[in-house]
């Protein structure tokens, strides 16, 4: 049996696919160069925007043609965010409608059930991806992740340390720690260990101080040339974390810090808790302590109700920060999210595209 895994979306999905590959190899399967020659195709899906979802549907349709034209059996397995959402939806309606729409798919399997305990078959032999947590509790109003990946769960501390030590012994020089909110790592562990956890107010929200600075420090002592981490949120970016980065030169000086918008009203509607001023203050602290810092970010344009003035506040923030790179998205309504339920997707596509182009020219073209 030959397998092919198609991965859509973020590096978390890439890391999951590396574990799926290990699981299939343990069943005696061998990898196929492309899906056309495979007997077993796993589609690891992303739902962050409609366009990502559509790409997975396109592949299913292509596979359907192969399946019907071929005598030989072809198994199609869908996992990742789409399967996650379908299985977490208690009404069962999402799964039922997917099964009806795509009868050629043999199974929709949540990622937790596809070989997640396996030692990954790593694609990149120099930079190892290490997931340290999964899921998200933040419920940004536009984001489907809490519904696809569920609540945030941190991996046991010693498992991560053990895996990183082994990677170092194997000769890996670079490592990337992954989590939807990588710097929230361990807040759930702390919460479960004490009845009354200590909360600290940071960027507008009461937070449990995380174990991430401690973990990052310990990993940075293992002798890697570079320790990277993705993706951070501003509200768990503590002074303690800034100090750990400042004091360990092998921690990446390129930090990804999604801002999403530079307008306080939009940020509030996004349920992002901080203000433009608070984000800028954090950036100032980072720049002050970390030499040669490069910041990258995520921005959404055309969020429901975003006025020209509000968009200009984002432009202004980008000018002030001088991001090295930005992943700019056009707002896309996602199932089950608060913004889809409560707000109208009222910004025309042409306006979203124009705003995207303005930021693209300002940030990404400027650094070419």
When asked if residue 266 is in the footprint of ligand SF4 (CB under 6 A), the reply is no
- Which one of the spans 132-140, 277-285, 327-335, 344-352 is the region binding ligand SF4 (CB under 6 A)? 132-140
By CB under 6 A, residue 318 contacts ligand 5AD: no
User: Is 48 an interacting residue with respect to ligand 5AD (CB under 6 A)?
Assistant: yes
Nearer to ligand 5AD among residue 220 and residue 332 (C-beta): 332
Q: Taking CB within 5 to 8 Å according to partner kind, which of ligand 5AD, ligand SF4, none is near residue 332?
A: ligand 5AD
Q: What are residue 107's DSSP bridge partners?
A: 77
- List of residues 6+ apart from 70 with CB closer than 8 A: none
Decide whether 162 or 348 has the Cβ nearer to ligand 5AD.
348
Q: CB within 8 A of 33, min separation 6: which ones? A: none
Binding of ligand SF4 by 313 (CB under 6 A): no
Does position 328 interact with ligand SF4 (CB under 6 A)? The reply is no
Tell me how crowded residue 167 is: count the other CB atoms within 10 A of its CB: 19
368/172 Cα distance (integer angstroms): 30
Whichever of 109 and 300 has its CB closer to ligand 5AD, that residue is 300
Q: Which is nearer to ligand 5AD, 18 or 53 (CB)?
A: 53
Q: Which does 297 bind (CB under 5 to 8 A by kind): ligand SF4, ligand 5AD, none?
A: none
Asked if 197 and 190 touch (Cβ cutoff 8 Å), the reply is yes
Q: Please report, as residue ranges, which positions from 113 to 152 form the binding site for ligand 5AD (by CB under 6 A).
A: 142-143
Q: Which of 298, 316, 320, 322 binds ligand 5AD (CB under 6 A)?
A: 298
Q: Check residue 67 for interaction with ligand 5AD (CB under 6 A).
A: no
Rounded Cα distance between 81 and 48, Å, is: 9
- The answer to whether the bond into 7 is cis (omega within 30° of 0) is no
Count of Cβ atoms closer than 10 Å to residue 170 Cβ: 10
Residue count, binding to ligand 5AD (CB under 6 A): 12
Beta strands of the chain (E only): which ranges? 2-7, 30-31, 40-45, 75-80, 107-108, 127-131, 133-134, 153-154, 174-178, 200-202, 205-207, 226-230, 254-256, 294-301, 325-330
Binding site partner of 48, from ligand 5AD, ligand SF4, none, Cβ cut-off 5-8 A by kind:
ligand 5AD
As given in the structure block, the two tokens for residue 19 are: 């574990």
Binding site for ligand 5AD (CB under 6 A): 48-49, 142-143, 258, 260, 298, 300, 329, 331-332, 334
């Amino acid at each position: 049996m030959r397998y092919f895994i198609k991965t859509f979306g973020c590096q978390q999905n890439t890391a999951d696919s590396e574990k799926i590959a290990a699981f299939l190899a343990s069943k005696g399967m061998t990898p196929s160069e492309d899906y056309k020659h495979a007997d077993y195709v796993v589609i690891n899906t992303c739902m962050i925007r409609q366009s990502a979802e559509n790409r997975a549907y396109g592949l299913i349709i292509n596979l359907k043609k192969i399946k019907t034209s071929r005598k030989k059996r072809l198994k199609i397995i869908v996992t990742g965010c789409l399967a996650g959402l379908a299985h977490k939806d208690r009404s069962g309606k999402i799964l039922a409608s997917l099964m009806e729409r795509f009868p050629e798919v043999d199974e929709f399997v949540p990622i937790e059930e596809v070989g997640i305990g396996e030692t990954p078959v790593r694609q990149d032999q120099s930079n190892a991806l290490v997931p340290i947590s999964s899921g998200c509790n933040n419920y940004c109003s536009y984001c489907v992740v809490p519904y696809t990946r569920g609540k945030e769960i941190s991996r046991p501390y010693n498992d991560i340390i053990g895996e990183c030590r082994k990677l170092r012994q194997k000769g890996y020089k670079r490592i990337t720690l992954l989590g939807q909110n990588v710097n929230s790592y361990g807040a759930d562990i702390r919460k479960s260990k004490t009845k009354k956890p200590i909360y600290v107010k940071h960027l507008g929200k009461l937070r449990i101080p995380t174990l991430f600075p401690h973990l990052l420090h310990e990993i940075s002592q293992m002798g890697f040339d570079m320790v990277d981490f993705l993706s951070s949120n501003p509200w768990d970016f503590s002074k303690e974390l800034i100090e750990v980065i400042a004091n360990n030169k092998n921690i990446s000086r390129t930090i990804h810090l999604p801002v999403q918008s530079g307008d306080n009203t939009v940020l509030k509607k996004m349920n992002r808790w901080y203000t433009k001023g608070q984000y800028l203050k954090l950036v100032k602290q980072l720049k002050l302590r970390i030499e040669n810092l490069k910041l990258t970010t995520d921005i959404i344009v055309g969020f429901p109700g975003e006025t020209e003035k509000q968009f200009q506040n984002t432009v202004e923030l980008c000018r002030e920060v001088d991001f090295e790179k930005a992943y700019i998205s056009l707002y896309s309504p996602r199932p089950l999210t608060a913004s889809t339920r409560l707000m109208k997707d009222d910004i025309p596509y042409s306006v979203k595209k124009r705003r995207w182009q303005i930021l693209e020219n300002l940030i990404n073209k400027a650094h070419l």
